[in-house]
Structure 1
Amino acid sequence: MRIDISLLPALAATFMLVFARVGAMVMLLPGLGESNIPVRIKLAIALLLTLVMLPLHRAAYNIDTQSITPLLVLMVHEIIIGIVLGATARVTLAALQVAGSVIAQQLGLGFVTAVDPTQGQQGVLVGNFLTLLGVTLLFATDTHHLVIAALNESYSIFSPGDLVPSGDVAALATRAFAAAFKIGMQLSAPFLVFGLVFNIGLGVLARLMPQMQVYFVGVPLSILAGFLILALVIAAMMGTFLDYFIGVMHELTPRK
């Protein structure tokens, strides 16, 4: 019995190209690409997704094992595509940090910082809470399946071997950053209104009662009222964020 193994080099090269796209995306995804997640777990998830994607899109790759230069160029393209997809999903999560920063400033908690586990750096406490809550809801509502679907459909948008459309990528990045800031400000809109009204009231009170220490009275009231408002609107806030995230993922999926 004779076994033909001539296809193994091409299959191995295809596997590495698919892994380059999937791995680059996984390293940036919300919830999976966090700095506090062990690298071995990230690699295991990337390898698992690669094994799922390889049979589906193996035919899309034209591999020439006689020359290594085209393979290296194709791998760079795949890495760039993975970074674009992962960064787009990561930027959407930044909307919660924007909202948390604005809310913290309005409540007088802008100086209260802690290490953000999703980024590995200092962030305002309210922003860290909203970010963790957002990541939890993404998994609790199975929205992360849309990310995997976007990865699968990316082969229709970015075909292997084609040049990366730099203009479309730049437009996608611009829309993602603008939308993240816009949604962050919309999520914090109730607190902007509260901060404006509350500070105007403190200013009027300071003019009516100059001998009163308005600051020492206003700060605890601001924090208390702010947390009450947060408890009332947090469900609507996170629902809006989930709708926004789902919309961004649908933009990465070509419409049939």
Structure 2
Amino acid sequence: MRIDISLLPALAAAFMLVFARIGAMVMLLPGFGETNIPVRIKLAIALALTLIILPLHRAAYTIDMQSMAPLMVMLVLEIVIGVVLGATARVTLSALQVAGSVIAQQLGLGFVTAVDPTQGQQGLLIGNFLTILGLTLLFATDTHYLVIAALNDSYAIFSPGEFVPSGDIAALATRAFAAAFKIGMQLAAPFLVFGLVFNMGLGVLARLMPQMQVYFVGVPLAILAGFLIFAAVLTTMMGTYMDYFIGVMHQLIPRS
């Protein structure tokens, strides 16, 4: 029996192209691409997704094995597409860091820092807490499946072999950063109001009672009142963030 293996080089090239897109995206995804996750785990996840998605989109790749130049160009384009998709999902997580920074400043905890486990660098404690809570909710509610769906449907938006329009990427990045900052400020809005009212009250109190050490009285009271407000609005905050994340993922899924 004679087995025809002439298709293996083209199949291997298609596998590497799909792996380039998925691997670049996985390295930046929230939850999967964190610095404390071993690289082997990330590669295993990317490999598993590649084996699932490759049969679905194998026909979309037109590969000429006679020349390496077009293949290398396609490889670079696939990596760029993966980075764009992964960075878009990663930017959504920065909204929680923005909200945490504003909240910490309003509560007088702007100097309290700890190592952010998702980034491996120093971050404000409340921002780190919101980030970890957001990641937990993404997996607890199975929202991470939307990321995989967006990856699968990215072939309808960015066809293999086609140059990615730089204007569209710039517009996508601008909208993603603007939306993340906007949502971060909206999540911290109750604390902005609290900080304004509380500081105005301290100013009036300082004028009425100059002999009182307003700072030593105000800081513990601000922390106590701020944490009470934080406990009261935390559920609403995270619900708003989840709606925002789902909306961003749906923008990457053209059929939804």
Shift of 1:239: 0.2
Aligned to 1:45: 45
TM-superposition CA deviations, 1:55-77 (whole Å, max 9, x none) = 00000000111111111000000
Aligned to 1:178: 178
SS of structure 2 residue aligned to 1:253: coil
Shift of 1:165: 1.3
Aligned to 1:215: 215
Q: Distance in 2 between matches of 1:168 and 1:8?
A: 35
Partner amino acid, structure 1, of 2:9: P
Q: Distance in 1 between matches of 2:213 and 2:222?
A: 15
SS of structure 1 residue aligned to 2:122: strand
Aligned CA RMSD, in angstroms, stands at 0.6
Shift of 1:122: 0.7
SS of structure 2 residue aligned to 1:29: coil
Structure 1 position 232 matched with structure 2 position 232: yes
Aligned to 1:161: 161
SS of structure 2 residue aligned to 1:212: coil
Moved over 4 A (4+): none
Aligned to 2:241: 241
Partner amino acid, structure 2, of 1:225: A
Q: Percent identity?
A: 84
Shift of 1:245: 0.3
Partner amino acid, structure 2, of 1:101: S
Structure 1 position 100 matched with structure 2 position 100: yes
Shift of 1:128: 0.2
Aligned to 1:36: 36
Q: Distance in 2 between matches of 1:150 and 1:247?
A: 12
Q: Distance in 1 between matches of 2:226 and 2:60?
A: 54
SS of structure 2 residue aligned to 1:37: coil
TM-superposition CA deviations, 1:200-238 (whole Å, max 9, x none) = 001111111111111001000000100000000000000
SS of structure 2 residue aligned to 1:179: helix
TM-score calculated relative to the size of structure 2: 0.99
Partner amino acid, structure 2, of 1:187: L
Shift of 1:100: 0.1
Aligned to 2:129: 129
Partner amino acid, structure 1, of 2:252: L
Q: Distance in 1 between matches of 2:79 and 2:52?
A: 18
Shift of 1:148: 0.2
Q: Distance in 2 between matches of 1:69 and 1:52?
A: 27
Aligned to 1:193: 193
Partner amino acid, structure 1, of 2:149: A
SS of structure 1 residue aligned to 2:28: coil
Q: Distance in 1 between matches of 2:51 and 2:255?
A: 26
Shift of 1:184: 0.2
SS of structure 2 residue aligned to 1:123: strand
SS of structure 1 residue aligned to 2:123: strand
TM-superposition CA deviations, 1:1-52 (whole Å, max 9, x none) = 0001101000000000000000000000000000010000000000000000
SS of structure 1 residue aligned to 2:73: helix
Shift of 1:255: 3.4
Q: Distance in 2 between matches of 1:144 and 1:166?
A: 27
Partner amino acid, structure 2, of 1:230: F
SS of structure 2 residue aligned to 1:210: coil
Aligned to 2:81: 81
Unaligned runs of 5+ in 1: none
Partner amino acid, structure 1, of 2:105: Q
Q: Distance in 2 between matches of 1:108 and 1:254?
A: 44
Q: Distance in 2 between matches of 1:126 and 1:136?
A: 15
Unaligned runs of 5+ in 2: none
